[in-house]
Amino acid sequence: MKTKILPINENSIKETVNALKNGGICVYPTETCYGLGCDATNEKAIKKLRKIKKMNDEKKISIIVSSLEMIKKYGRVTKRVEKIVNLFMPAPLTLVIRKKKSIPDILNKDEIAFRIPNNLVALRLVKEFEKPITTTSANITTKPSIYTFDKIRKVFEGKVDIILDGGDLPLEPPSTIVDMTKRKAEIIREGSMKATLILKIK
């Protein structure tokens, strides 16, 4: 596969969105590490992404959305989740909620983990695409997350359609993940955002 290495500008965003619409896979910068993206509603694209990342079918894949309105089309948003989104997002915060049938089971079977990204490139991509995009870390499963562009190119050139060159990213912790599907919210992963802030919201 011929991988396009693109600088980040208006044209490359449009080209990446077109690739996603055609079932393509891209690597893009986020507020944490580089992310591996495809159309989160496209089963074939998700299968391809899992193969590239060497990820089994049971491993859950998170998504990015552009707004509260977007996630409501794909997940069951409670009043508490809505309040958290309005208070904190965009942020390196991922919330787990029950999914709707518009998200295929190959992504996640019962739940969906989403965030509104606090990164202009990632946010612009998902706004232009107008549908959720996967945001699993751009690495091979069991290997560390990747923050440098040279390493991204080494690992993914020839395997994905497009790599957006965001340069070397700051070594930020991964997003905080909070499961909102239970009566009592549960911290799945403590990341760069204090999960206690989320647990206080009723």
Average pLDDT, stretch 135-143?
95
Dihedral angle of Cα 47, 49, 133, 96, to the nearest 10 degrees? 80
| pLDDT score recorded for residue 201 | 87
Cα separation, 41 vs 133, in Å, equals 8
Residues of the domain holding 151: 4-199
If one counts the domains in the chain, the total is 1
94-127 pLDDT tens trace: 999 999 999 999 999 999 999 999 999 999 999 9
DSSP H helical ranges for 22-88: 43-53, 68-74, 79-88
| pTM, 2 dp | 0.95
Domain of 140: which CATH number? Answer: 3.90.870.10
Q: CA–CA distance from 3 to each of 6, 8, 18, 59, 144 (Å)?
A: 9, 15, 14, 26, 22
Backbone angles phi, psi at 94, to 5 degrees: -115, 130
Instruction: Check if the beta carbon of residue 158 is closer than 8 Å to that of residue 180.
Output: no
| pLDDT score recorded for residue 183 | 86
